[in-house]
Every structure is written in structure tokens, then in C-alpha cells.
Amino acid sequence: MKTRIAGAAALTAAAALVLSGCAGGGGGEDAPIKLGSVNTISGPATFPEASEAAAAVFDQVNEEGGINGRQIEYKAMDDKADPATATASARELLGSDEVVALVGSASLLDCEINAKYYEQEGVSSIPGIGVDPGCFNSANIAPANIGPFNDTTLTMLYGSEELGLENLCVLTSVIGSTGPAYAAAVDRWSEITGKQPTFVDDTVPYGGADYTPYIVKAREAGCDGIVTNNVEPDAIGMIKAANQQGWDDVTFLFLTSTYSESFAAAVDNSAAGVYVPAEFYPFTEDSEINADWKSLMEENDITLTSFSQGGYLAATFMVEVLESIEGDITRESVNEALASMEPIENPMIAYPYQFDKIAAQDYEPGGWPVTLQSGTNAWEQAADDWLMIPAS
């Protein structure tokens, strides 16, 4: 069964579904296992690969006989980066569709908008890519990735402790309620290193037309490294602004969102280099570690990105959990299996995946440093092992 990318139902219909008291159930031993996800597939920043990758995993499981003979029915919703649509999408999945769990989501705002609802309805979520702060402070949500806030701490650690940069300037684009989470990520770096950024500016526009004023400000402050959460188009704009100013000795410390082949192809002069702590084992490396993921993605014409890695991992984790359940598969039995699961070791991530510990952020996040140097148009490993955030 191929994934369905569906529009949200009308809010009035969604409200009626909630009032009807629908709850996720097993439906009998021959009924399909219903799973879903809420994703930003259209809008200002999109993440289609995560749910596509999850769907590919479930399709493969179905072709091989399913979960103890039961097929997986997977439905991916597009929230369009709109709060009302995200609300309606979650209620359609949990209400009329009666999914037993959410898997492979990747959204700008799903967790922030729907976390309380998921808790209320007793449903667990393994996002492929957790983006907003709500993905990292709910007992019901445990993403496959470490998230942009841990990623921010990691990229700063790599810049100061591995590259020896002394004057880091933090330029942050704040979307929704993400400001405090990014500030906490910078504070965590300071707690670990005993250092302070040269300056922090959280007024950087998302989707800006010209980043020259921010580049000029950073250069005048004597920054040797720019830390930013820019997504791919904005990061390219930031680099081009530095190029236009002739600033060739500054290092860019970005997040995993820029780690793509399209980004590398678009950047000719990356000054002193771009460095990213990839949230998963570098997909641009030819390695057996990514072999199964890569083969499945190519078979299904899914773009090779960190986003598709996250969706793939979320789905494979859920499959292992589902296979451990004896008896009917319901929201309750899935929750129990997630709570009692043994840690899953996978070389594509730096840490064992265990739902409760990830949900509680009770683990040591890690990323694999990669770099893009001027004139290469190709990513390379910048380290021989994972870079970890020390335990508190």
C-alpha cells in the first residue's frame, strides 16, 4: 500500500470526530495496522522525504508478509505549515482513521500544535524529523533525530573545540516559539565550554532577500565563525552575502538542514568552509552503514537526504516494536511496547534508540561532522567518529 498525501478535513468535521470519542483500536487479527504522520509537504520549508521514506519501509514490510500477517496502512497528511491544518490533520488521523501510532512525521509545527492532543488521546509519535520545541518535551514524542537545538550545541562545540574558533557569532531565525530553545542551546554550549558567543542576533529574517546587514555586523564584530540555523536557501544567501563583501576567512557552522547535494552544488565559494554535524551517518559517504537505506530510497525514487534517513529510521524502529507485540495491536499495546522496548542499536545514529529515554531527552546526542570546502561542490567527512554532547 502506497502512502497517501492527504489534505486536512474541515475543522468542523474534525471537531465532530473528537466529540464522537473515536479511539485507535486493533480491529481484529486480520485488520490492517493503521499508522499516520503529520508533515509539512507544502509551504515555506518542506520535508516530504521523511514520510516518503517511512512509507517505503512499510511497503517493503507489507510485501514481505506484514507484521505477523497483518498489513500496515500508512497515511501521511500535509499540514502546509498552517496551525489550523495541522490541528485538523492530527484529528483526522486519530479520530476517523483511528491510527495506533504516528511514525515518520516531519513538520514545522506539528509537535508544538498537537503534543497535548496526542497526550490526551494516548497516542505515541516517532517523528522522522523533529523540528519544533514540542517534539523534545513531550513524554509521547521521541524523534529519530536529535533536533535543531541539540544540533546547534553540536555545531558550536565543533567550531570552538575542534576548529579552534574563538569568536562565534550566532545569527538565529526565530520561527514561532523556537527562540527560547535556540537560546538554551547556546547556553548549553557555554556551560560545557565556559565560553560566550561574541554576539547573538535573533532577528535574522526567515526567507530574507538580503543578508548583507547581518554579515557586515558580524564582520565588524570580529567573528571568525558564524553559527546559524538557516535552512538551505537562506544559508546560500548568507554565504553569497559574505562573498559579496569579500569575506573569505570566516567559517560557517550550519545545521543538518543544509546538508544536501543541492546545497553543495549551489555554493562555489564557502569562504573558510561550511561545517555541519550531520544528525545521521553521512549519507554522501559510500558505506555499508547506509546501504539498506540507500537501496530502498533509490528503489522508490526518494531523494537521498538526512530527512529520508530520519523517516527510514523512525519506520524501522516502529516495525521492530510492532513485531514484539503479542496479541492485538492497539494504541495501548503499542504504548506498552514502546515503554518496555530494549534499546535499538543502529550505526546510522550515534546513540541507542529507546523511546522513553529519547522522549525525556535522557541521552547523549551526537552528530557526525561533515564539511563543504570552497570550490569542491562535494561534502566530505570532517571527523572519524561521532561528536557527542557531554551528559549534563
| CATH placement of domain 148-278+368-388 | 3.40.50.2300
Asked if residues 121 and 98 have their Cβ atoms less than 8 Å apart, the reply is no
* Class in CATH terms, 4-146+287-361: alpha beta
pLDDT at 16: 33
Q: What is the pLDDT of residues 293-303, one digit of tens each?
A: 999 999 999 99
Within this chain, domains 4-146+287-361 and 148-278+368-388 share the same CATH topology = yes
Q: Which candidate, 72, 139, 122, places its Cα nearest to that of 332?
A: 122
Sheet with strand 33-39: strands edge to edge: 4-6, 72-78, 33-39, 101-103, 125-126
Asked if residues 41 and 94 have their Cβ atoms less than 8 Å apart, the reply is no
Distance CA 276, CA 372 (A): 9
Cell of 392: 549534563
Distance CA 70, CA 76 (A): 19
Q: What is the pLDDT of residues 64-115, one digit of tens each?
A: 999 999 999 999 999 999 999 999 999 999 999 999 999 999 999 999 999 9
pLDDT at 25: 56
Phi, psi for residue 93 in degrees, rounded to 5: -65, -45
**Can you give the residue ranges of every domain in the chain?**
4-146+287-361, 148-278+368-388
Q: With left for phi above 0 and alpha for psi between -120 and 50, is residue 106 left, alpha or beta? A: beta
Q: With left for phi above 0 and alpha for psi between -120 and 50, is residue 43 left, alpha or beta? A: left
Q: What is the pLDDT of residues 166-195, one digit of tens each?
A: 999 999 999 888 999 999 999 999 999 999
Q: With left for phi above 0 and alpha for psi between -120 and 50, is residue 273 left, alpha or beta? A: left
- Which residue type is seen at 371? T
Cell of 347: 550505526
H helix runs in the chain, sequence order? 11-20, 48-63, 83-91, 110-121, 147-157, 179-193, 212-220, 232-244, 261-266, 291-299, 306-323, 331-340, 355-359
